[in-house]
Amino acid sequence: MLILGIETSCDDTAAGIVEDGRLLAHVVASQDIHLEYGGVVPEFASRAHLTLLPRVIAEVFAKADRPIAAIDAVAATIGPGLVGSLLVGLEFAKGFAQARGIPFVGVNHVEAHLLSPGIEQDLPFPYLGMVASGGHTEIYHVTDAASVRRLGSTRDDAAGEAFDKVGKLLGLPYPGGPHVDRLAREGNPDAFAFPVARLGNDNLDVSFSGLKTAVKLAVEREKSPMSEGRIRDVAAATERAVVNALIERLALALDRHPSKAIAIAGGCACNTLLRREAGRLAGERGIPAVFPSPALCRDNGAMIAFAGWHARRRGIVTPVTASVVPNLDAFPHA
C-alpha cells in the first residue's frame, strides 16, 4: 500500500510517501518570508503553499522513484492549523484522490506527530506520548494507533511558543527555539530563578505564561545591551524551567499510566536538554525514550503519510465533502 501524505497546516509545505509503513521519501519547503515578521503571517503562508506545493509534490515523487499511478491513497492534514493553509493542502489532496479514483484520508496533525516516532523505529504499545512544538504541548497515553487518550495539555503558551517568545526578548532570530537551545549549552541555568508552574499534583497540564513574564521582567532589569554571557544564562535558565515542567508531568503520567516507552515528537523534540532528561527519566523506569530524527520533528509530510497508512489499514476513508477543522480536537481529556 503506497500512501502520499500532504502537510500544510502552518508555514511548512511538505509531502511524503510511505509504502507498507516504510518511508520512501519526504520533502519540506520552508517559507522564509515570515522571518522578517518574527512569526507566521497566515495570509502569506497560504499564498506560499499555493506556489510551493506542486513543486514539492513533483520532488517527492522523484525522490521516492514511484509513479503517480502507483499511489493507493492520499492523506492530508485536516486540522488543527491555519484555515487558509489547511485548505490548500486539503483541496489539493481531494482533487488528487478524485482524479486518480483512490481513497482520501483526512489526518489529525497532532495524531500524526504522536505516531511519528514509529516511522524510523519500532515503537511498543502502550506508550506515553508527548507532542511539544510551537503550537502544541500535550501528553497522551497511546494504547495503539487507533486508541489515544489525552492526559494533559498547556493552559496557555505551548513550549515552543515560550522558547520563541523568549528568543524574541533576547533579540534572537525567529524561530527562537533552536537558538535558545544552542546558547543554553554555554549558559549557567542557576543565574536566574525562573518559575516552574505547578497546577496541582492531580493535574497533568502545564503553563508557560508566568515563565514568559518572569523572563521579560528579568531582561528589563539587565543593562542594555545585554552581554553575550547574560543572554546565554537567560537561555539556559529558560530552557531548564521549560524542560523541568515537561519532565515533571511525564513522570507523574508514568506513575498513573504504565507504559513501554516514552515518545516525544514535535519541534521541541530536537531540544538537547529535553532529549537528555527524557532519556534519564525513561532509564530510571527501565523503558526506552524514542524520538523522531530532527528532520521528522518539524512539520512534515512523512508523518501525514504514515498516519494515513495506519488509517487505511483500518479501512478509514474520509468523504471528499469534508472540510478543514482549524481547531480540531479529536482526543478527549482524561
At 130-155, the pLDDT tens digits run 999 988 999 999 999 888 999 999 99
Percent of residues, the chain, with pLDDT higher than 90: 85
Mean pLDDT of 253-257: 96
Residue 212 sits at φ, ψ, to 5 deg, of -60, -45
Coil, helix or strand at residue 216? helix
Q: Compute how many other C-beta atoms are within 10 angstroms of the C-beta atom of residue 81.
A: 28
Q: Which residues of 282-294 are buried (b: 16+ CB within 10 A; e: fewer)?
A: beebebbbbbbee
pLDDT value at residue 198? 81
Q: Which domains does the chain have, with CATH numbers?
A: 2-114+296-313 (3.30.420.40), 125-291 (3.30.420.40)
pLDDT in tens, 52-90: 999 999 999 999 999 999 999 999 999 999 999 999 999
Alpha-carbon distance 30 to 134, whole Å?
15
pLDDT value at residue 36? 61
Q: How far is CA 104 from CA 96, 253, 314, in A?
A: 9, 35, 13
pLDDT in tens, 184-229: 999 999 999 999 988 877 789 999 999 999 999 999 999 888 999 9
| The model's pTM | 0.93
* Average pLDDT, rounded, for the chain: 93
Q: Is the peptide bond before 126 cis (omega within 30 degrees of 0)?
A: yes
Q: How is 37-88 classified by DSSP, letter by letter? A: GTS--HHHHHHHHHHHHHHHHHHHHHHHT--GGG--EEEEEEESS-HHHHHH
Q: Are 97 and 73 in contact (CB under 8 A)?
A: yes
Mean pLDDT of 21-31: 93
Asked whether the CA dihedral 142, 310, 17, 31 is positive or negative, the reply is negative
pLDDT in tens, 272-324: 999 999 999 999 999 999 999 999 999 999 999 999 999 999 999 999 999 99
Q: How confident is the model at residue 326 (pLDDT cuts 50, 70, 90)?
A: confident
Alpha helix ranges (H) inside the chain = 42-64, 83-100, 109-115, 159-169, 177-184, 209-221, 228-256, 272-285, 294-297, 301-313
pLDDT value at residue 37? 55
